[in-house]
Structure formats: C-alpha cells, structure tokens
Structure 1
C-alpha cells in the first residue's frame, strides 16, 4: 500500500488531509512539527511527503533541505502546503527541490490531483496503478464539478464556464472594431412552491421533478449554452452572444417549456417558474455578482406570487440591503420585546356592534419606528423565525382575551393568523391547547385564520389537523378567500366556521361587476355550507350597504376603525361604539 507522510502543525487541517487521503485507500502517517516529520521520513521512507511551510522552529523549507541531503529520502516526491502564494515563496520552494506547491485553501480535487500526479511520475509505479489513478481523478472531477442528482454542472463548473464566456466575448469585441458589445446573460430559474411537491408527493417525486426539469433545460438549451443546477430547486442558464430582445424571447420559452405538466409516478403536476435575469457587462463582471443580481431579480418575481421573468435593476440593491438589515434586526426583535399586537374590530352588519377583532402583528423598531408587516413577515417565514414569533402572538392574544373578559365581563372573540409554516408544526394542536390552559380562556373565544393557499398544500393532513382543533372548541376561519385555488369539493370537507372575503374584491365591489359577482357567489356558497362571512377592507358606506343587502354577516375595515393598540380597542368596547 502506498504510504504518505503529512507534516502539518494545524490539527484541523492535518485531520482533514488525513481523512481525504485515507478515503482514497492510502496509508497515511502524520507529524505535527518539522522535526518529528524529518524523523518519521528518515525512519519509514514514505512514497510521498506533504509538508506545511509555516511551522515554528523547523519550517517546511528546512525540512525539505534536510531530507534532500539524506540518501533514503532525497528522491521522495515532496509537495509544499502553504497559505503563501507569492512567486518568491514558490521559487524558493522549487529551488530547494520541491515537486509541487499547493496554496491553502485548496479543493479536494486539487490535493488529490497533485498527489496522483507526483506518484505517477515515480518509476516504481506500475501502469495499471497509473490507470487507476487516472480513473480516480476523473471520478473526483465528476464529483467536484457535477450535480450528483441531475449530472448538470454545479456552481463551481458554472463559474469556470462563465470565465471562459467572458474571455471569448472579449476576443470577439476586439476582433471586430465597431461591432456592438457581446452580451452574456445569466438566467436564475426557480421552481415556485417546490416544497409542496416534497410534502404532498414525497421526496422521491421531488427528486424526479428536478431531474425532469434538468432534462428539459438540457435538451432544449444545453447544446450551445450552459445549464447548471445551483442547489435545491434553483437552476441557472448561461447564454453568450445574445441581445436583450433575444433574452426576453429566451425567458418566455423557458417559462413555457417548464410550465408544461410533469408525470410524477402517475401524478400530473404543473409548476410556476420565476426567472431572474442579469446581463454582462452592465450588471456585473464576475459570476458571483451576476448570479447575485439574477437571484435578486428572481426573488422580485417570486414576491409577486405568480411566476414570470424580471431583469435586474440597480434599485434592487437597495431592496436587498433593506431585506438583509431587517433580517438581522428581526433576530433580536423578539428578545427585546419590540413586537406588539394591534386589534381591528369586526362588526356585525345587522346590529352594528363589535363582535370580535383580528389581532395584527406590528414591529416597533427603536431606531426606525413602526415597520409594516409586509416588510418583515415574508422574511420571518423564510428564516423560520415565524415559529417563535407566531407562538408569541398566540400567547399575547389569548392573554389579552382574558384581560378584556375580566375588565368588561364580555366574551371577545379574537382571530389570530397562522402562517403555512406554523400550521405544519407537529406539535401545533398541543401547543395551542397548552396556551389556552395557561391563559385560562375558553377555546370558543379563539379563531385561527389560515389562508386559502396554505390549507390546500396538503389537503388530507389539513383536514386531520383542523378536525383536532375543532374538537377542542377552537373556531377556524379561511382568510383571503377567493384568491386561491380551492374547490367546493374540498371546501365542504374542511371543518371551518368562517370565510373572509379578500379586500381585493371588496375594494371595487360597488363599481366592478366582476368583483360584485364574486362577492355574491362567496356569500351564497358560505350560506349553503352554513358558514359565516366576514368582508375585509370595508372603507365606504356603499360597500357596507352592498354587503349587508347580500347577506354578509360581518365586516372589518377603516369605515369603522383601523387596527389599534389594545388600550384603544378597549375604549371602543367601553364606549359601545357602533357602525
């Protein structure tokens, strides 16, 4: 067995190198300083030595010099490992007789490639072993530069391909004076709501979908372009020598191609695609910067929720900076008690009296003041912070219900929004039951609001969880109704109490015939299922009258009151304010 000696004073680096080499079947011995390395080398005469340069007392240069003066170690292949990368350092090592020089940090493939190359030059190595090393090097290259699931280029190879494309574009621009500058486009391609595929159909079907997406991209665009998988549900397309108009046509083709149905083991699914586009040279001159800009543009598309494509614009930098700032502050906001709940009254449209309220989260940053929910809720969802924040909202709202019950001796029903991520918690039912017990309130006073899209992600699981919550006496409301894709067949299976008409339909309900028809249909359907209806965003008397005349049960909106702090809401109760 081939024996290698590693001389390295950094324990972490030494351990990593040992593991990499041992995994390839080498016998590896090590020393943690130069003097010990010299002694081991002279005693065992290994087949190859890897030695750090910067070591105390006896550095790598001295180790090499002394070994070259000893007959048994004079011809052993010697590779320097160092954080130094100046030419003078390289020349000094080579003048002493080093065979190779690796600059830290180095990649696994670089290390093993250097080892195999030095061993292959030894006269004692047989040709079959050389062939095996070549095959191993090819395998390492495959692992280093290819995505194992789709076999597409990974991020590392994508970077190399970009550098080559830039060099070719530069030569083309110089070779034809006066020609318009060659553009290079990077398209960042993301599969919207990919997690729902894994959740509903299983991870094997999720992997199958990624393979099918990769095949479509490679077959249709891979002949003259670079298609890569950057990780997760994110792909990238590198296109050279293209105009901005042609990029638009390309993005539209990608959307159409990937939007066609997929057969996942007998289940046919369609997915929405978000595509962000960045162009060289105007949007950046290196792959990291361009990919980052294309990703920003892709996120801008995803935020709209409908798929499509978007070019990067400089304004996105400010938005990204703002996003990162909010994310960093959000980590501390809960610990510093910077959140508070506002309450928007819900009004019975017949009596005009307050029948409940929706608890709405607000963030009062000490430096920036009140931050609107649409600025931070999506970030909390992405980072997972919505879980502890959501628990705080539940506890605070339930505690407030108890306070109002004591102060006013009136049972006030409060609605609390549950995000899709919260709803997927394994311990959700137990957590809510515990909070209700700790705050000593009736479950009948708590309403959990879920969006239409979140309850449709995994219907069968949703039904089971909702039934458990209903059995405990908790009310269930479907928020933003009319904006999702639920069917009546599923809706009648959900154990729910209330539908909330989304404010996008209420806004033009008296002037837009389509919005009016949708609102009437929702009210009629709810009545047939014996559900109550609450309309959101009611701002005018005309809207209120329309809803009342068509059988809507209740409303909330600025016509009666904006969301207000708990103290102000209590004053509304005490004054018995009516619509």
Structure 2
C-alpha cells in the first residue's frame, strides 16, 4: 500500500508538478494551498509526510509544521522552499517540527530519495511512540530491548517483577539478567514472535517472556512472574517431578513407542489467592494440592510441578478419550470439597487441558507445550470442562499476533472505513440518526470483523488511535452532509473504556469538533454497561466531562451485565440501548416482553430515550411500539450502509411512508 503525502504550497503550478512526480512514484497525494487547508486535510486523513513551502499567506511553513508536530506527532515535515527566514527556519529544524529543509528548484531523484528517507524515519518514530504508549499505559510488565539484546526502557511493573533497581536494568544485556540461558532457545524466541520463554532471574525468581511489539530494531517484551514450588514443599513432596524430569519421562515414552497423554492443570485465580493468603498458607495450599493429585493418580501415571499453580500429569494413552476424561474426573474429585489451610477453608478449581501423542505432539517439548496451550485457553472458560489441544489454538495465537501488528499500519494505509446503520423513530418512522460502525479491509486477510480486532486493539493498546480516527472521520462526514443539506440529527459512536479513561480525551474531542465546525450535540457517545458499572462513581465523573462538552451519552448493551436501573440515576446518561439478547424472544415470550416493558418505563421515568438494537422482524417492531420504545435499529430496516446510501435514506425517508413498518 502507498504512503500518503500532503503537499502545501500557494503556487498551483508547483503543486501540480510535485503531485505528478509523487503519484508516478506510487504515493497517495493530497494538496493544500494554505496552512489552514492543510490542517483540515490532516484532520480527515492519515498523512505520513507533509512537504510545505515556507512563505505562504496567513500561516507560514514553520508555523504549520509546528502545529502538525503538536497535533500529529507521527507525521514528519519537510520544508521545500526557495526562500526562508533563517532564524525561523533554524528554530523549526531545531525543535524537530521540520525534519529537513530542501531548496527549490528541486532535483526529482534527490527529492524522491529524501522522501523515502523521511518515510523510513517516520516509521521508526511511529514504532517508538507505539512502544512508549504501551510502556506508559499498559497494565503489564514490559521490557524494551535493542536489536543487540540490550535493555533500553522498562516500566515500573517490570522492575517489580524482576526485583531490580533501575540502575541495574538500564543498558544491561538480557543474558546478564537470567541464569543458564540456552542460546538456541533464545534465538528461536527472538525469531518466532509467537513463542514464550521461561527463565530464572539471578535472584531466583521465575518469569515468562513473550512478545508485545517487535520489529528488526527493537523488541517490546511482556514479563510475567511464574510462581515456582518452594524448595521446602518440593522436599516434602519427592513424588513431584520437575520440568526437566517431566520432559525426560515423556521423551522416554515416545522413544520406546509408548503412546502417552500430557494433562496440564492450573489453579484458577491463583494470583488472587496469593495476594490474600500468607506465605505459610500458600505453601500449605501447594503441598495439599500436589499430595491430593498424587494420591489420586491413575495407574502408571506420574505428576510434576511446573510452577506453584501449574501441575502436569503424564499417563499412558488409554485408547478412548472418554476413559481419559474419567481419569481426570477421579484426579480432581478431592477438590469438590474445601481444603483446610491453617483454620481457613479454600475451594479450589482447576483449568484442564491435555494433549495426546503422537497426534498432538511428536516430541516431549511439543506435547507438554501443547497441553499447556490448551490449559491456558481453557482459563477463559467459566464452565469447568477438559479441553484437548487443537492446532487451531496455535493458529489463533498466531492470528492474534498478526492482527495486533497489522493494526499499527492499518490507519496509515487507510484500511479502515465507516458504515452507518439507520436508527428509526418508532412513533412516525422518521430517520435522521445512525450508529457509526468501523470496518477493516486488510489487503491479505480480507474483511476482518470488529468482534475480532477490537478486543485485540483494546488489549494491546491500539484502540486509542483507532477511536480517534473513527471520531475524526465521523465528524468530517457530518460536516460534508451539512454542506450538502442532509439533515443529520445525531451520530452514535462507540467509546472504549480506555478512551474514556484518557484524561485528555474530552480536550482532544473538543479540538476535533472545532476543527470540523460541529456542535457536540451531533455526537452520541456509547459506553458499555459492563465498563460503567465497574466503578459507578468514577464513571459518573468521566461522563460528566463529556456532558459538559455537550455530547449525548448512551449506555450500550444494557441487559448484559448488572441490569440495575437504580444505578442509572447516578449516571449522566440520556439514552439506554437495549441489548439484542433482550428482544430476541419478544414474539414468543410474554416474560421477555414484560421485562422489556419494565425497563422502558423506568428509563422514561429517568428522562431517557430507549433504543432497541438487533431488530429483525416486523413483529418485534409492533411489540416495541406497543411497549413505547423510542427508536430501533436492525436489519428489518437496513443493514449498515455507506455514507452516500445513508444520506439518501435521510432524504427519501422510506420508512416513514410505511409508518414505521417494513
């Protein structure tokens, strides 16, 4: 995909000449005659490089690039001019607002070479900013390495996990921080970005390393502390194999052609238990757990400890998976009752994953690793069942990594676009509102669902930049509709919890509104019920800032979490969006209709509008109209459509002609 370059010059002939040169070289080119026009273009498009004249009416090139540097720090600037005020130019270069100064007339090849160098520098700066943002905002312990393996930067959580002062971490080679690093395993880890590596620090702590963002020049690694069984517990439980002995046992089985199964068992919520129990209780917990597991081992099985919360059982393959599941049932049967830990009683539950050789792994390392992958994936399942390894799990992990990395370039490459789903007023079928929905067309993966990439963006930190782009593009579209005379009342945009927690968010939103000459009332900002209810008082404070700005506020997906209307009175919310799960059974379930009627009535008493989403049938519309629901959206009226198609809906009002039915 081509990079986007903005040309700024008040001489049309120069703009045309530069535009032809750059377009022939494969760049996407935008043009502006003034600094004000340039900032408007930047507000609507992801620009990699600005090439500006120095002498221009109103705002000169130095002033423009300073504004660009402030508002769009990943965008580089070049001054291309026959004349420039020397002092102003030096200040612009020294401040970093301008990357270089090039003189007119220009040599085509020399200019193209400088542009290529600028874009490479821009990519380096963008990657650095992305790593910086993660280091500052991530709830995870992170460590940044140079390409030679030296520690460049780290966050406070990394210091806590590694138990080191900053002076002993900065500029140290990774190999000096850990004991007995296997060079081959380390090389594989750096080469394969979806791998994890477990190492022991010089202070005796065990940690797991995994990649966050990595390129040819830098590695940003996540560090997770791994609790190993204490020496005292291990001495008392000699039947526990360690990791090396486990691997050797599996290797012996495989080399003697004995089919075997590796079962990985992890104590759920172990970190919470570790925070709440004393060291003595924690040792007792590990000792009792291992003893009970050992006492209930199937015949010819062995048990080992990988960490304090992680056990592995290896047993001969029984031929039928149903028999294997019975073995696991028997193994965990003692944990159906509470354990007594120095006067306290604890009920333990385990996540279980298993892998069967040779189908799920042909080597000991593979088999044990795949059992652990299944177990870790099973941690996310609230219901207790035993999960067998599937090759798709590795693919899922690889896909997560690929999507996360691709998100960083998706904005720059303009792979995102917006669709608009009409919201229809039930009273008269009138439509002048829509929900704004993001879509991602990846050049290789095709259309990637928001249900896939949004959670990854929230987890890995890209959601802030994506959310800002959605708002900017949405407001720019609203401005265009306004110029075309399309009467749009309001556009609903989803906010992530991370955006809402950003203390500068309301300020930046105000800037976007001013730049696009839009009133805040054009926006309806939707926040999910689950996030708002995590801390009701804090949520109220965050929402008040947006309300002061003039935005409409909506609670999205109502009915999926707390569903307590009493809490709504504490939040400055004007709109309640009923989750689609509440309306699915409206036509068949009087109980569902009664519950929805109660929610709508209570919301109206709190002066809130009620919107039902996911409506798919005329019967649902009729029931919701009888229940006094204010607005609906769903495929019964329209799927999400392009900006042009939505403008036509607003002009033609097709649903009003049929009085709100289809």
TM-score (normalised: structure 1): 0.62
Alignment of structure 1 residues 364-513 onto 2, 5 Å: 364-408=441-485, 410-513=487-590
1:377-401, Cα deviation, whole Å (9 max, x unpaired): 1221221111111111111112222
- The CA distance in 2 between the partners of 1:307 and 1:470, in whole Å, is 43
Q: What's the counterpart of residue 244 of structure 1? A: 324
> Residue 545 of structure 2: SS of its match in structure 1?
helix
Distance (whole Å) between structure 2 residues aligned to residue 259 and residue 440 of structure 1: 64
The answer to whether the 8 Å contact 2:264/2:375 transfers is: no
Give the structure 1 partner of residue 360 of structure 2: 283
Deviations 1:324-356 (A, max 9, x none): 333332221111010001000000001101131
Structure 1 residues 252 and 352, CA, compared in 2 at 3 Å: closer, same or farther? farther
Q: Which residue, out of 289, 292, 298, partners 1:221?
A: 289
Write the distance in 2 (CA, Å) between the matches of 1:356 and 1:389: 22
Aligned with 2:245 (options 160, 164, 179): 164
In structure 2, stretches of 5+ residues that fail to align are: 1-147, 152-173, 182-199, 209-223, 235-239, 295-302, 317-322, 341-346
Deviations 1:225-244 (A, max 9, x none): 555559xxxx5332344873
Contact 1:360 / 1:416 at 8 angstroms: preserved in 2? yes
Alpha-carbon distance in structure 2 between the residues aligned to 1:13 and 1:317: 26
* TM-score, length-scaled by structure 2: 0.55
1:111-190 paired onto structure 2 within 5 Å: 142-143=204-205, 152=229, 161-168=242-249, 181-188=259-266
Q: Distance in 1 between matches of 2:313 and 2:478?
A: 59
- Any conservation in 1 of the 2:177–2:201 contact (CA below 8 Å)? no
Is the Cα–Cα contact under 8 Å of residues 476 and 495 in structure 1 kept in the other structure? Answer: yes
**2: CA distance between counterparts of 1:211 and 1:360?**
50
Contact between 1:503 and 1:537, CA under 8 Å: does it hold in 2?
A: yes
What secondary structure does 2:521 align onto? helix
Deviation of the 1:191 alpha carbon: 4.7
**TM-superposed deviation, 1:471:** 1.7
Contact map agreement 1:186 1:291 (CA 8 A) in 2: no
**3-state SS of paired residue (1:477):** strand
CA contact (8 A) 1:280 1:290 kept: no
The root-mean-square deviation of aligned C-alpha atoms, in Å, is 4.5
Please give the alpha-carbon distance, in whole angstroms, between the structure 2 residues aligned to 1:322 and 1:483.
28
1:549 and 2:590 are equivalent in the alignment: no
Between the aligned partners of 2:413 and 2:390, the Cα distance in structure 1 is: 35
Alignment of 1:522-561 (within 5 A): 522-561=599-638
DSSP-derived class of the 2:570 partner: coil
Deviation, 1:425, is 1.9
Write the distance in 2 (CA, Å) between the matches of 1:485 and 1:427. Answer: 29
Q: Which residue is 2:403 aligned to?
A: 326
1:73-88 aligned within 5 A: none
- Distance of 1:211 and 1:567 partners within structure 2: 64
Tell me the CA shift for residue 315 of structure 1.
3.3
**Cα 1:326–1:276 shift into 2, 3 Å:** farther
2:373 is aligned to 295
* Structure 1 contact 451–481 (Cα < 8 Å) conserved: yes
CA distance in 2, matches of 1:161, 1:256: 26
The 2-side partners of 1:535 and 1:210 are apart by 49
Query: Distance in 2 between the 1:301 and 1:139 partners?
Result: 27
Unaligned runs of 5+ in 1: 1-11, 16-103, 112-137, 198-204, 261-269
Q: 1:373 to 1:109 in 2, by over 3 A?
A: closer
Answer yes or no: is the 8 Å Cα contact 1:344–1:557 preserved in 2: yes
| Residues paired across the two proteins, number | 425
Cα offsets for 1:543-574 (capped at 9, x unmatched): 00010100111000011110011111111112
Secondary structure of the residue aligned to 1:357 is strand
Structure 1 residue 145 displacement after superposition: 8.5
Q: Distance in 2 between matches of 1:471 and 1:298?
A: 44
Q: 1:442 to 1:255 in 2, by over 3 A?
A: farther
State the distance in 1 between where 2:226 and 2:446 align.
47
- The 3 A distance-change label for structure 1 pair 380 and 250 is farther
What per-residue deviation string (whole Å, max 9, x for no partner) do you get for residues 167-226 of structure 1? 346668999x9xx8553311356659x9xx9xxxxxxx9944898996685254233455
State the alpha-carbon separation in 2 of the partners of residues 492 and 431 from structure 1.
Answer: 28
Distance 1:183 1:535 in 2: 50
- Paired residue secondary structure (2:414): coil
* Aligned twin of 2:80: none
8 Å CA contact 2:577, 2:613 repeated in 1: yes
Q: Is the 8 A contact 1:537 1:557 kept in 2?
A: yes
Whether contact under 8 Å (2:506, 2:546) holds in the other structure is yes
